[in-house]
Structure 1
Amino acid sequence: MLELAEWRAEVLRRVREEGETRFAGLFGSGEQDGSVRLTALLFPSGAEEPLTLETTLPPGALSYPSLSPELPAAFWYERVLHDLFGVTPDGHPRLDPLLLPLTDPQHAPLPGTSLRAQPLEPDESAIPRAVTGPGVFTIPHGPVRSGVTESVEYLVETPGEDIPRVQIRVFHKHRGVSKRFEQQTVDDGVLVAERVEGIASVAHALAFCHAAESCAGITVGWTARLVRALYAELERIANHLDVMVKLTDAAGLAVATARFALHKERIMRLTGHLCGSRFARGVAVPGGVTGLPALAPTELDQQLATLQGAIASDWHAAMSTPSFLDRLRTTGPLAPAVARAHGALGPIGKASGCAYDTRYERPYDAYGSLGLATPACQAEGDAMARTRVRGAEITQSFHLLTQITDELRALPGDEPLNAPLPQDFSGQSLGWAEAAQGEVMYLLRFENGRVARCAPRSASFHNLVLFHEVFAGDILTDFPFIEASFGLSIAGVAV
C-alpha cells in the first residue's frame, strides 16, 4: 500500500522507464468507511506474477491526478472509476460516462461495499453530445442494429466518406456485474463469471477459478487441467470461426458465410455433446471440473480431425479469394507502436507485433506441459493480419486438442476431478486465462468463503478503446470489416 503521490509516480515509472512492463489494468474497490482503494496491475517482461500497486483515496477526497495524459492505456479504466466509484481523475482528457451515466457521481454504486446497494438507472442526458464542425456530421450507428448484433452505439463523425473519428458508447449493455458478484459463494460466483461474456464463458470461468484456487491454496489435478484446456480450445475455435462468418458476410460471400457458420455450429454442437452445454458452462468449477467429456478420446479425436480438414479447406478458399482479400488489406491498421504502448491483447495485439498470450507467458492448467508454440505474430496490424493470426490460432488449437486427447487416452482414470475448497477462506488474489479475444483477468477478494469484491477485466474491454485508433484513410464501407476483425464482445466491455 503506497501513498497516493508515490503510487502514481511508481506506476508511471514502471511503465515508462522499464519499457517492457505492460499496464494491465486499473481497478477500484469501495470500502465500508467510504474510501476507495485503487489497484494498478502491471506485468513486467518475463515475470510469472503480476506487480500489484495499491493506494487509498480517503472519504470526501475521491480524486487524484489522472494517469491518462501520460499513460493513455488508463483512459477507459479511469472513466470506469468515475462511473462506478465517483472518483475524479483530475486532468483526464475526456471524462464522459462510459458504463453508467449519472448526473450525480455521489450516487455511484461503489462495488466492494454495501453502502450503496440499490440498483441505479442510467441517465442518458448525462452523456454530452458530439461536437461537430462545418461540413462534418455524425452518423449514430446503433445501439440497435440488424440481426443479433450486440447493443453498442458508434458515433461516426465524417465529412462524407472518410472516418476521422469514432466515439463509442457501451453503457446500453451495462448490467452491474461487479455488484452481482458480491456475497456470492465460490460455487455461485463461477456461475456469474460464465455469464459475464457469453462467448468466452470458459475463459471467464477459468480466470475466476484460478483466483479462487490461488486464494484457497488448492491444487487442481492433471486430469481436470486437461479437461479445462480441452474446452478452452474448442471455445477459441468457435470464436475465430464466428469472426470469419462476419467478415465473409460483410464481403457478400454467401457461400463462405454459410460454410463458416456451419463449421462454428458443428464445433458448438460437439461441445454440447461433450458436456451438455454449447458454451461449456458448468464444466470448470473451483477445484477442478464436474466431469470427463462424454465421448471417448479416440472417437473425439476422429471428429476433431474431420472438422479440422473441412475448416482448413474453406479457410484456404476464402483466403485465396481476391475480392475478399482486397477488403482486408490495409483496412483498419493498428500501428505497432500504439499496440505496444497500450498492451494490446489477443489477435489484435499479435497482428501488430505484440505476442502477449497468457498460455505461453504464464501457463495455467495443462498449458505448461503441452507443446504450445510461440504465438503467431504479424507486423501489418490491419484486418488481413488479424485474420491470419486467427487462422494460425485455429491450427494451433487443433494441434493442442490432439495432444489433449492423447493424454486423456493414457490416463489411468482413477484421479479425482475436483478438490473441494475450504468453507471460510479469506484473502485477495488474481486469476487469468486466455480467451479467443485475449487475456481475461479476475481480481477477487474473499471474506469467509464469500466474494467481497470481484473486478473482472476482459480483453474486449482492454482492446475496444483501440477502435478509435484504426480509422486511418478508411471509409464508411470499411467499418463492418474493421469491427468484425476486432472480434470483441460488448458484453465483456460493459460489465
Structure 2
Amino acid sequence: MSPGRLAGLYATEENGHPELVAIIGRDDGFLILRAPVPRELRYDALTPQVPAAFWYERALHDLSGVEPAGHPRLDPLLAPQLDDLGPVRPGSDLPARDHDAVPGAEHIGPVDVTGRGVFTLPFGPVRSGVLESLELLLETGGEDILRINLRPHYKHRQIAKRFEQRTVDDAVLVAERVEGVHSVAHALAFVHAVETATDVTVPAAARLQRVVVAELERMANHLDVVTQLCDCAGLAVGTARFGLHKEQVMRLMSDATGSRFGRGQVVPGGVRAALRTDPAQLRYRIRTLQARIADDLRALNGSASFLDRLRTTGRLDAGLAHRHGALGPVGRGSGVELDARVWRPYDAYPDLTPFVPASSTLTDALGRLRVRETELAQSSELIQEAVQQLAHVDPTARAPVPSADGHHLGVSESAAGEILYSVTLHAGRVVRCFARSASFHNLVLMHNVFHGDVFTDLGFIEASFGLCYAGVAM
C-alpha cells in the first residue's frame, strides 16, 4: 500500500480547543489525522517535510491565526497583503506609510530570481477578456518567464463561514456556489458527506440522474478549455465551433434540470425531481453532439501551428505530479491516474460500464488536452448508458434523510479533479465545513511548470490547467 497523499489540511476548534486536521488519501480510502494545537497557536510546519502542504498551511494561517512555525513563506494567501489595502484611512490604527521612502518593488511581493536586468511584472488582477481575478507576479529578464508567483485573494468570500449553522438542504445551495462552473460536483461532494453520516440509501433513479448532470457539467468545462486554447492560438473557427458545442451542452443541462449549471438538482438523499428531458431525446442529442465534437477535434489536431503551441509548453514533471498528488487532467496529463469515479466510485458509476481514467505521459499542455479529449468521449458514453438505464428503474427521486451528528467526508470528481468535503454535523445543521476544490490543490503547481516558456505561452498554460480561482480563494 502506498504511504498516501495529502488531500487536505485545515485548523478547527472542538469544545474550545484548537486542533489540526490532516486528510490523507490512500489506496483503501481516506485517513483522517487530528492533533491538538498548543495554547500559543503554533506548531512545527509540515511543509518542509510535506511540500504539498505549502498552500494549505498559508491558508489555515490566514483563516484561523494558527502559525506553522518554520514555514518557508508564510505570506498571506487568502488575505490581502498590507500594501493591497491602499492608503490608510483617517482614524485607523495602522501606521501611515512613507511611499517616497520605500521603493515600489518592495511592495510587490516575494522575489525568487535576482540578477542583472531581472524585474517583477505584476499582471492582473483585472485582465483582458472574462478571466477571473488573479494577480500573477512574473519574474523575468525580458521575454522568458523565469518564475511566477500567484496571489488569488481577490476571490476570497469566507465560504467556510457561510456553511455554518445552516440546515443540510440550505448548505447545498452554498456548496453549489463555491465554484460556479463546478456546481454539480460540489453539491455531490457535500451530499455524499451527509449521506455517509445518515447511512441513507439513494434511489437508483437519483443515482443515475446524478451521473447524467455530473457528466454534462464535465463536458461543458472541458469544451470551455478547448475553446480557450483555440482563442489563445488565434483560431477563430475553432473558438467559435467549440464555444458553440459548450453552449449546446449547457442548453442540454438547462432543458434537463431547469438550470444551465444544474443547480437545484442534487439534494441530500437523491435529486429534487426527475429530468425534464425525454430519455430517448437526450440520448439522441448527446450522441449527435459528441459526433460533431469528435469531428472538430480531428480538424483541430490537424493544425500544426496549434499543436506546436502546446508541445513542451507548461511541462509538469511526472515525479512532482505524483508526489504532490496532482488532480484531474493536470495530474492525469502527467501520468497520475487518480479519478474518484474509479478510485472511490459513487452514485451510479459502479453500475455502468467500467472505464480506465484518461491519462497521458506527455506532461505538457498537449497532454492535458489529450486527457480532456478522451474524457469528452467517455462522458458522452456514460450519459447515454445512464439515460438508457433510467427507463428501467423505479422513478423514485429522493429518500428521506434523518438528522445526524459527527464528522464525515464526501468526495466527487469534477472536471478539474477531486473535490473533498469534510463536514461536521450536529442536530441536522452544519457546524464546520472544509471544502477543498481541485483548483486549490492544483494551482500551486503552476509555479513549477515554466521551463523556458515565454509571455505568449502563459495563456496556453493557464487554459490547459482549467482551474477556477473562486475555488482557490474560498
Counterparts of 1:98 and 1:306 in 2: how far apart (Å)? 44
1:79 alignment counterpart:
58
1:115 alignment counterpart:
none
2:431 is equivalent to residue 448 of structure 1: no
> What SS does the corresponding residue of 1:444 show, helix, strand or coil?
strand
2:362 alignment counterpart:
380
- Residue 154 of structure 2, aligned match among 172, 181, 184: 172
**Mean Cα deviation higher: 152-161 or 50-59:** 50-59
**TM alignment of 1:65-464, pairs within 5 A:** 65-101=44-80, 129-131=109-111, 133-413=115-395, 416-422=396-402, 424-464=403-443
Amino acid at match of 1:57: V
Counterparts of 1:433 and 1:127 in 2: how far apart (Å)? 40
Counterparts of 1:432 and 1:372 in 2: how far apart (Å)? 19
Amino acid at match of 1:154: L
Q: Is the 8 A contact 1:220 1:418 kept in 2?
A: yes
> What SS does the corresponding residue of 1:376 show, helix, strand or coil?
coil
Q: CA deviation at 1:272?
A: 0.3
> What SS does the corresponding residue of 1:164 show, helix, strand or coil?
strand
Counterparts of 1:262 and 1:218 in 2: how far apart (Å)? 40
1:24-68 Cα distance to aligned partner (Å, 9 max, x none): 1112113452x32211111222x1x21111011143x21111111
1:112 alignment counterpart:
none
2:9 is equivalent to residue 26 of structure 1: yes
- Residue 483 of structure 1, aligned match among 462, 465, 472: 462
Counterparts of 1:36 and 1:172 in 2: how far apart (Å)? 27
Q: CA deviation at 1:219?
A: 1.3
Q: Is the 8 A contact 1:372 1:400 kept in 2?
A: no
> What SS does the corresponding residue of 1:50 show, helix, strand or coil?
strand
> What SS does the corresponding residue of 1:138 show, helix, strand or coil?
strand
Q: Aligned pair in 2 of structure 1 residues 337, 404: CA closer, same or farther (>3 Å)?
A: same
**Mean Cα deviation higher: 23-32 or 177-186:** 23-32
Counterparts of 1:239 and 1:472 in 2: how far apart (Å)? 27
Counterparts of 2:252 and 2:107 in 1: how far apart (Å)? 44
Unaligned segments of structure 1, at least 5 residues? 1-17, 104-123
**Structure 1: 4+ residue segments shifted above 4 A:** 124-128
Q: Is the 8 A contact 2:11 2:66 kept in 1?
A: no
Q: Aligned pair in 2 of structure 1 residues 481, 437: CA closer, same or farther (>3 Å)?
A: same
Q: Is the 8 A contact 1:193 1:204 kept in 2?
A: yes
Q: CA deviation at 1:409?
A: 2.0
> What SS does the corresponding residue of 2:391 show, helix, strand or coil?
helix
Instruction: State the TM-score, normalizing by the size of structure 2.
Output: 0.93
Q: Is the 8 A contact 1:298 1:409 kept in 2?
A: no
Counterparts of 1:256 and 1:494 in 2: how far apart (Å)? 32
Q: Is the 8 A contact 1:41 1:52 kept in 2?
A: yes
1:342-395 Cα distance to aligned partner (Å, 9 max, x none): 000000100101000000010000011111311121112100000000000001
Q: CA deviation at 1:86?
A: 0.7
Counterparts of 1:20 and 1:222 in 2: how far apart (Å)? 35
Q: CA deviation at 1:19?
A: 4.4
> What SS does the corresponding residue of 1:39 show, helix, strand or coil?
strand
Aligned length: 451
Amino acid at match of 2:32: T
Instruction: State the TM-score, normalizing by the size of structure 1.
Output: 0.89
CA RMSD, aligned part only?
1.6
Q: Aligned pair in 2 of structure 1 residues 345, 362: CA closer, same or farther (>3 Å)?
A: same
Unaligned segments of structure 2, at least 5 residues? 83-96, 100-105
Q: CA deviation at 1:145?
A: 0.9
Give me the identity figure in percent.
53
Counterparts of 2:107 and 2:48 in 1: how far apart (Å)? 22
> What SS does the corresponding residue of 1:145 show, helix, strand or coil?
coil
Counterparts of 2:394 and 2:14 in 1: how far apart (Å)? 49
